[in-house]
Amino acid sequence: MRVAVGALALVLGLSSAALAADKVSFGTNWKAQAEHGGFYQALASGIYAKHGLDVTIRQGGPQVNHSQLLAAGRIDFNMGGNLFNSLNYPAQKIPVVTVAAMFQKDPQVLISHPGVGNDSLASLKGKTIFVSGDGRASFWLWLKQKYGYADEQIKPYTFNPAPFLADKNSSQQGYATSEPYSIEKAGVKPVVHLLADNGFETYSTLIETTARMIAEKPDLVQRFVDASILGWQSYITGDPAPANALIKKDNPEMTDELIAYSIKTMKAMGIVDSGESKVNGIGAMDEARWKRFAEFAISVGVYPKDLDWKAAFTTRFVNKKVGLTK
């Protein structure tokens, strides 16, 4: 006699998810931190398991390139940084697709000293700014276009705040959720300019997967996206302790104080839940916003005019109001 899996699960007292958990690997963009908290929350609190997923989170780091591993089929999902990263895939004819944007705002900031007149992005024109190589190839292009910044302003940023602290008229790049914390610990209450609040429209903390995964296992992609959304909702609005414990286990250098600062900042600045996510749920994406960003990136010469930017993403798995109360 043939028995359906669902019926067998009821007889045995098991959930169908428990019987059919799909093994999934997800690569982050750096070592475990609060900025990855929603994914860790989904794992630690059983949200992934409830969606029939057995998820392994693989930490990123300086010697890890999860984008390459995703493209090669070595991992199932990857955490993308911003839309420049996403548009690189169609530019290089790589069939990787962004399926969700966990951060509505990129946490990228410029940080200045207080009391010296550097209280707006416009006021930094012509002044020393410490910027990394990656920064020069991404957000710096937008700053040049909008505010008339010049490459001559740049001094190399080596992820050490000492040069910035030594020069009160300088500014430096950073992430809203981390560098301002370390600068405050050094005795300076910085002026923080969130680029997103000044028109830098990239999404951040993206979920990427391959076109093949979407074609062959769309239900798995949907479950991973939905569970990640609920993980982020729980991390931002509920008790983040389960995720924080896993974060510190994966990254023993992470402190409770920095985690708390990062969560507080994400909430205050609306990094995860603002704008489109208020209407369509966390992870929301808008094609018009993608188009504007692609047109900007093309206009500054990052990509050719015939870039197939629509191949970089799909809204098929988001904008479903997952987690929103009715």
| pLDDT tens per residue across span 174-220 | 999 999 999 999 999 999 999 999 999 999 999 999 999 999 999 99
Q: pLDDT category, 15, cuts 50, 70, 90?
A: very low
Q: In terms of Cα–Cα distance, which of 138, 137, 147 is closest to 198?
A: 147
Helix, strand, coil abundance in the chain, percent, nearest 5 = 45, 15, 35
5: how many CB neighbours lie within 10 A of its CB?
Answer: 11
Would 114 be classed as within a structural domain?
yes
Within this chain, do residues 207 and 307 fall inside the same structural domain, yes or no?
yes
Rounded to whole angstroms, how far apart are CA atoms 321 and 235?
A: 17
Q: What is the C-alpha separation between 84 and 141, in angstroms, rounded?
A: 11
Contact criterion met (CB below 8 Å) for 224 and 77? yes
144 within a domain of the structure (yes/no) = yes
Considering the domain architecture, whether residues 127 and 256 belong to the same structural domain is answered as no
Share of the chain above pLDDT 90, in %: 92
- Asked if residue 279 and residue 243 are part of one domain, the reply reads yes
Give the domain extent around 118.
108-198
CA-nearest of 159, 148, 157 to 129 is: 157
Residue 209 lies in a domain: yes
252 is a domain residue: yes
Tell me how crowded residue 315 is: count the other CB atoms within 10 A of its CB: 18
Domain end marker among 198, 227, 247: 198
Looking at 163, 198, 233, which one is the last position of a domain? Answer: 198
Residue 11 has pLDDT above 80, yes or no: no
pLDDT, tens digit (0-9, with 9 covering 90-100), for 58-105: 999 888 999 999 999 999 999 999 999 999 999 999 999 999 999 999
pLDDT at 10: 46
Other CB atoms within a 10 A radius of the CB of residue 57 amount to: 22
Verify that 132 and 259 share a domain, yes or no: no
Distance, CA of 96 to CA of 103 (rounded, Å): 19
The answer to whether residue 4 sits within a structural domain is no
CATH of the domain at 77: 3.40.190.10
